[in-house]
Amino acid sequence: MQIKELGHVVFFVRDLEKSVNFYGNILGFKQIDIPMRGGALFSSGRTHHEMLLIEVGPHAALPPKGPRAGLYHIGLKIGDTKDELRAAKTELEEAGVTIVGMSDHTVTNSLYLLDPDGNEIELYVDVNKELWQKDPTLIASPTKPLYL
């Protein structure tokens, strides 16, 4: 067997309406217009769906903070230039989204934020695609602060 690509991610969410607003209106995922009771599907257009949100109610436990087994974050590519990342930062701040981190990973530059349920989301740009294609070891470069 060989995995061909990462197909989709599924999140349990406390409040479907808040999460649909976050992933659809703020991050710009296109919601797929398929009636689903207690859920919502999203796609960037690459495949049939890349994200599914399933509402589990307001009393569901939130993801624990700090080091733990399980999902750390998901990374979403938003472009190839620092200008695109700057524009995203401005849009997020205008929408009231708190940015919890910014990093220069040599081959990518990233913003980190939390969704309404506390799941960490990385928005990144591939600023030096040619570098990691020529030298894949650069992917493990030490993380540096990013200033936008």
**Domain locations in the chain as residue ranges:** 1-57, 73-148
One fold for 1-57 and 73-148: yes
What's the CATH code, domain 73-148? 3.10.180.10
Separation between Cα atoms, residue 73 and residue 65, nearest integer Å: 12
Q: What is the β-pairing status of strands 109-114 and 39-43?
A: unpaired
- Which of the pair, 5 or 113, is modelled with greater confidence? 113
Classified as helix, coil or strand, 32 is coil
Radius of gyration for the alpha carbons in the chain, expressed in angstroms and rounded: 16
pTM attached to this predicted model: 0.93
Q: Which amino acid is at 145?
A: P
Q: Where residue 132 falls among pLDDT bands split at 50, 70, 90?
A: confident
pLDDT digits over 32-61, tens only?
Answer: 999 899 999 999 988 899 999 999 999 999
Fold of the 1-57 domain: 2,3-Dihydroxybiphenyl 1,2-Dioxygenase; domain 1 (3.10.180)
Separation between Cα atoms, residue 46 and residue 50, nearest integer Å: 8
- Is residue 8's pLDDT more than 90? yes
Contact 31, 127 (CB under 8 A): no
pLDDT digits over 21-40, tens only?
Answer: 999 999 999 999 998 999 99
Separation between Cα atoms, residue 19 and residue 71, nearest integer Å: 18
pLDDT at 129: 85
